[in-house]
Amino acid sequence: MSLTTSKTGIGLFEEAMKSFLTSCRVKGLSLRTIKWYEYVLNEFRKYVEEPLENITKETIQNYLLLLKEKGFKKTTLANRYRGLRAFFNYLAEEEIIFVNPIQGVKPPKLPKVFPNCLSDEEVDKLIKALKGSSWYQVRNRAIVLLFLETGIRLRELRELKLRDINLSRHEIKARGKGEKERIVFFGRRVLEALKKWLSVRGGILTVDEPLFITQDGLPMKDRHIERIVSKAAKKAGITKRVSPHTLRHTFATLFIKNGGDVFTLQRLLGHSDVSTCMIYVNMAGRDLKESALRFSPIDRLYY
């Protein structure tokens, strides 16, 4: 988009905002993400009266301080900061502004909140509760095991097509946020579960058909899959709330505990920033300590 804002620094906030949102669409960001960016920028615009080129580091700091004084949660402050950072970084990269006002503004600190995940014992109970040979039981077992084995997101699993599964290579092609594709992998037990599901699935078997369907042959909805996970957890005697996202967190934690590295985990989960995965390292800290002591290079050399 051509802006009246140029190297002379004259222009309108609204024009810059339209250009930014257009770039988000070009990148393939989801409509939900784009709407969120639009909301954040509109809220910021209500506070800021000066022209775009006059917005400074202090302007943004004062805005965040105002939100804090009004009692907004720390997570809200952090989210507003992230939206503004994406916007101003874009403007700086496109040379719509010469000085990036977000630089030097520290992101609001968030309390360390560890995501809910299942213990080893609970995972064992959950898997044992998924036994059965009926059409529904075979399908539900494949779904839950796939969540636990790959850390795939709910939407990603729901949108899987038959062509996305490669049984011989133990691979699944998942489409994450912004339609970014990545490969996730599964082991022998999940392979068996998928083979059994495909043998009873029925319905149309063309490559563009959904992997998981209802017994009427229709694509599954999020609430159907959420209910499957929740009911399986209750059957296993797990009292806390268990969702597909719980299983994603469980996969990540177990991956680190079992010796996986955070950079590989980042790629498997489809995160753009490795720091997002560091929380799982902290969660698995005790087990990492035990492993480190067990495999101590010095202790193994001097015996």
Active centre residues (catalytic): 153, 177, 245, 248, 271, 280
Residue 27 corresponds to which amino acid?
K
Instruction: Pick the closest to residue 16 from 107, 93, 82, 77 (CA basis).
Output: 93
55, burial (CB in 10 Å: exposed 0-12, middle 13-18, buried 19+) = buried
Distance of CA 33 to the CA centre of its chain: 13
φ, ψ of residue 130 to 5 degrees: the values are: -95, 10
Q: How many CB atoms lie within 10 A of CB 274?
A: 12
Instruction: Pick the closest to residue 21 from 42, 6, 5 (CA basis).
Output: 42
Instruction: Pick the closest to residue 196 from 133, 255, 242, 152 (CA basis).
Output: 133
Assess contact for 17 and 55: CB atoms under 8 A: no
